[in-house]
Structure 1
Amino acid sequence: MSSYQISTDATADLSSGMMTQLPSVEIIPMNVEIGGRIYAYGPQGDLSVQAFYQMQKTGNYATTSQINPDTYRSYFEPCLQSGKDILYLCFTSGMSGTIQSARLCLNELKEKYPDRTILCVDTLCASLGEGVLVQEAARRQAEGFSILKLQNWVVEHRQQVCHWFTVDVFDHLKHGGRVSSAAAVVGTALQIKPLLHVDQEGKLAVAEKPRGRKQAIHAQLARMEQGWDPQISKTVAIGHGDCPDGARQLEESVRRQFPDAEIVKADIGPIIGAHTGPGMLALIYWGVNR
Structure 2
Amino acid sequence: MSVLLIDADGELWYTRQEELGVRCIQMPYSYCGNEYYYDLGKNTDFDAFYKAVRGGEVPKTMALNPQEYVDIIEPIFAEGEDVLYVSFSHKMSGTFDHLHTALEQLKEKYPDRKCTVFDTKSISLGAGIQMEYAAELKNNGASDEEIIAALTEFTDRVAVYFVVDDLMHLKRGGRLSGIAAFAGTLLGLKPILTLDENGSLGVLTKKAGKRTALKLIADNVVKQLTGTDYSVYVVDADSKDDGDWLADQIKAKRPEAKIVRQVVGPVIGAHCGPGTIGVIFIADKRPIPLAK
Q: What's the TM-score, normalizing by structure 1?
A: 0.90
Larger deviation, residues 175-184 vs 276-285: 175-184
**Does residue 63 in structure 1 map to residue 60 in structure 2?**
yes
Aligned to 2:167: 170
Cα-to-partner distance string for 1:49-97 (whole Å, 9 max, x where unaligned): 3222121111011221212221111121112222322101122111112
Partner of 2:269: 273
1:19 Cα shift?
Answer: 4.8
Q: Which deviates more, 36-45 or 269-278?
A: 36-45
Q: Distance in 2 between matches of 1:74 and 1:182?
A: 42
Aligned-partner Cα distance in 1 for 2:73–2:187: 48
Does residue 260 (structure 1) correspond to residue 256 (structure 2)? The answer is yes
Alignment RMSD? 2.2
Distance 2:132 2:42 in 1: 22
In structure 2, what is the Cα distance between the partners aligned to 1:60 and 1:246?
A: 23
Shift of 1:18: 4.5
Among 250, 268, 275, the alignment partner of 2:246 is 250
Counterpart Cα distance in 1 of 2:4 and 2:210: 37
Cα distance, 1:188 vs. partner?
2.4
Q: Which amino acid aligns with 2:124?
A: S
- 2:26 corresponds to which letter in structure 1? P
Match of 2:189 among 188, 192, 211: 192
- Distance (whole Å) between structure 2 residues aligned to residue 243 and residue 17 of structure 1: 23
- Which residue in 2 is equivalent to 1:230? 227
Q: 1:106-255 maps to which residues of 2 (within 5 A)?
A: 106-231=103-228, 234-255=230-251
Instruction: Name the CA shift for 1:281/1:4 in 2 (closer, same or farther; >3 Å).
Output: same
Question: Which whole-Å CA distance do the structure 2 matches of 1:224 and 1:94 have between them?
Answer: 25
Q: CA deviation at 1:110?
A: 3.3
SS in structure 1 at match of 2:135: helix
Q: CA deviation at 1:239?
A: 0.7
**1: CA distance, partners of 2:144 / 2:58:** 40
Contact 2:13 2:40 survives alignment (8 Å): no
Match of 1:4 among 2, 27, 33: 2
Equivalent position of 2:290 in the other structure = none
Work out whether residues 64 and 274 of structure 1, in 8 Å CA contact, stay in contact via their aligned partners in 2.
yes
Q: Percent identity?
A: 32
Distance in 2 separating the partners of 1:200 and 1:209? 20
C-alpha distance in structure 1 between counterparts of 2:105 and 2:61, whole Å: 25
- Equivalents in 2 of 1:234, 1:18: separation in Å? 18
CA 1:77 to 1:135, structure 2 compared with 1: closer, same or farther past 3 Å? same
Displacement of 1:149 after TM fit?
Answer: 1.4
> What letter corresponds to residue 236 of structure 1 in structure 2?
V
Q: CA deviation at 1:178?
A: 2.4
TM-aligned CA distance change 1:143 to 1:235, over 3 Å? farther
TM-score, normalised to structure 2, is 0.89
Match of 1:103 in 2: 100
Q: Matched residues in 1 for 2:147 and 2:107: separation?
A: 19
Q: How many angstroms apart in 1 are the aligned matches of 2:95 and 2:280?
A: 23
- 1:197-247 deviations in Å (ceiling 9; x for gaps): 11111111111111222211111122223432224x522211110111111
Conservation of the 8 A alpha-carbon contact between 2:12 and 2:40: no
Cα distance in 2 for residues equivalent to 1:44 and 1:251: 21
Gaps of 5+ in 2: 288-292
Cα 1:221–1:188, aligned 2, differ >3 Å: closer, same or farther?
A: same
Q: CA deviation at 1:35?
A: 2.9
**SS in structure 1 opposite 2:92?**
coil
